[in-house]
């Protein structure tokens, strides 16, 4: 299904904006990413864009995971949006009692043969609670299931607990007053990306889009790490080489 058609069908339904939706749609088609894991569905708007891209490719599947307790929170539901677009056959929706970390447990167990976890996905989009403990752990679990040359995308790169309405005390099961001042004010996904993904030997092509809140990384064991920050107006590229544990910046431009 063409991008314009799916964008008309889901028009006005949160949470993905049109720019990120186009980026995701184009990435799936250009890289032929046909086995997708989506963590955090809400109304299924991003799901619809991804399913439309698979429809264009003529093949593929999306496994979309969310919380059981959130099932009735979103109207339209992902099932309704997918049915409206006629794309439901590309998507399996899984709702878990405790969330996506336990889904990933089940997947790793299912994919393990002779003590080795066989990777299966070539794209994972993480758009859930935006929490260091849950999403930091999720990154390591997803890494086990992501194939070489697969992609990982984080939403909410700069989101903080203090950025939400002061009257809200709980976000996705995390009680704000249980967090320290620092934990409430620091963006957790940024910490996950900068401290875990960027330092991980399996991830080399890293791009941060601060304006749209996305951070993207490619799974590749190349010794050359490229870290790019793309603002709407300017791009800052930092080329980093890591050899024998020694990091050197070999090029940087503004």
Ligand X SMILES: C[S@@+](CC[C@H](N)C(=O)[O-])C[C@H]1O[C@@H](n2cnc3c(N)ncnc32)[C@H](O)[C@@H]1O
CB of 67 to ligand X, least distance (A): 5
What H or E segment, with its residue span, contains residue 143? helix 132-145
Pairing of strands 246-253, 235-243: antiparallel
Give yes or no for residue 172 binding ligand X (CB under 6 A): yes
Give yes or no for residue 213 binding ligand X (CB under 6 A): no
CA 142, 145, 151, 153: dihedral to nearest 10 degrees?
-20
Give yes or no for residue 127 binding ligand X (CB under 6 A): yes
Task: Count other Cβ atoms within 10 Å, centred on residue 236.
Answer: 13
Part of the chain binding ligand X (CB under 6 A), chosen from 42-50, 142-150, 180-188, 234-242? 42-50
Tokens 């697969």: give the residue.
150
CA 108, 156, 10, 165: dihedral to nearest 10 degrees?
120
Given the complex with ligand X, which of 6 and 134 has the nearer CB atom?
Answer: 134
User: Per-residue x/- mask for ligand X, residues 86 to 115, rule CB under 6 A?
Assistant: -------------xx---------------
Query: Which member of 35, 85, 90, 128 binds ligand X (CB under 6 A)?
Result: 128
Residues lying near ligand X in the complex (CB under 6 A) are found at 15-16, 40-43, 45-46, 65-67, 70, 99-100, 127-129, 134, 172
């Amino acid at each position: 299904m063409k991008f314009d058609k799916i964008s008309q069908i889901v028009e006005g339904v949160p949470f993905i904006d049109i720019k990120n939706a186009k980026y995701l749609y184009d990435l799936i088609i250009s890289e032929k990413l046909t086995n997708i894991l989506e963590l955090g569905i809400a109304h299924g708007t991003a799901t619809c864009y991804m399913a439309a891209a698979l429809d264009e490719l003529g093949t593929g599947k999306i496994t979309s995971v969310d919380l059981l307790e959130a099932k009735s929170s979103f109207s339209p539901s992902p099932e309704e949006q997918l049915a409206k677009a006629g794309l439901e056959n590309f998507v399996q929706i899984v709702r878990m009692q405790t969330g996506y970390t336990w889904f990933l447990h089940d997947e790793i167990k299912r994919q393990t043969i002779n003590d080795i976890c066989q990777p299966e996905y070539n794209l994972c989009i993480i758009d859930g609670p935006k929490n260091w403990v849950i999403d930091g752990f999720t990154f390591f679990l997803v890494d086990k299931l992501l194939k070489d040359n697969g992609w990982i995308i984080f939403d909410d790169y700069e989101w903080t607990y203090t950025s939400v309405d002061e009257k809200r005390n709980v976000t996705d099961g995390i009680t704000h007053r249980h967090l320290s001042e620092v934990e409430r004010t620091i963006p957790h996904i940024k910490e996950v990306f900068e401290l875990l993904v960027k330092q991980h030997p399996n991830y080399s092509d890293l791009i941060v889009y601060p304006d749209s809140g996305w951070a993207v990384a490619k799974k590749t064991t190349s010794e050359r790490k490229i870290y790019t920050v793309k603002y709407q107006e300017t791009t800052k590229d930092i080329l980093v080489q890591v050899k024998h544990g020694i990091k050197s910046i070999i090029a940087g431009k503004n």
